[in-house]
Structure 1
Amino acid sequence: MINELLLDISSKDDISLVLPLLLSSEELNAINARVLVYKELLLGERSQREIAKIHNISIATITRGSNNLKSMSNIEKELLQTLLIRK
């Protein structure tokens, strides 16, 4: 059901309107932090401690993100890289 809903959203403005209806502010913050952690880890330019300090994210959150990345398939990692690291 959520997949269909998200596929029907056609603009950034609509996404910005819908997500707060579905998620609490804490959930949105957690998702944003996780996405930021994935991006930083995929870039590989900073240590986990540097990421934590710069973005005020707990080491535990970064470690969970790192462990999730390690368990992903290459296809999943490539998809994240494409979505998060646009050059």
Structure 2
Amino acid sequence: MFKELLLNISGEEDVSLMLPLLLSPEELNAINARTLVYKELLLAEKSQREIARIHNISIATITRGSNNLKAMSDKEKQLLQTLLIRK
């Protein structure tokens, strides 16, 4: 049902309206942090400790993100790279 809902959202404004209805502020913050971690790790320009310090994200969160990336298929990593880095 959630996937169907997301597929029917059209436009940035609708996304901005829907996300706070579906997720708590803590959940939104967690998703934003995970997305930022994925982006930084994919860019591979900073160490995990630098990412933690610069963005005030725990090392544990960054390690979980790194482990998730390692477990992803090449197709999944490529999708994230395309969406987050726009290369």
> What's the TM-score once normalised by structure 2's chain length?
0.98
Q: CA deviation at 1:68?
A: 0.1
The match for 1:64 is 64
Secondary structure of 1:57's partner? Answer: coil
The letter of the residue matching 1:6 is: L
SS of the counterpart of 2:86?
A: coil
| Percent identical residues | 80
Q: CA offsets, 1:7-36, max 9 Å, x none?
A: 100110100000000000000000000000
Structure 1 residue 43, shift from structure 2 partner: 0.2
Shift of 1:56: 0.2
C-alpha displacement of 1:86? 1.3
Question: Where does the alignment leave 5 or more consecutive residues of structure 1 unmatched?
Answer: none
Deviations 1:44-66 (A, max 9, x none): 00000000000000000000000
Helix, strand or coil: the match of 1:10?
coil
Matches of 2:57 and 2:12, distance apart in 1: 25
Aligned counterpart, 2:25: 25
2:27 is equivalent to residue 7 of structure 1: no
Distance 1:16 1:25 in 2: 13
Q: Does 1:81 align with 2:73?
A: no
Give the count of matched residue pairs. 87
Moved segments of 4+, more than 3 Å: none
d(CA) in 2 for partners of 1:65, 1:28: 16
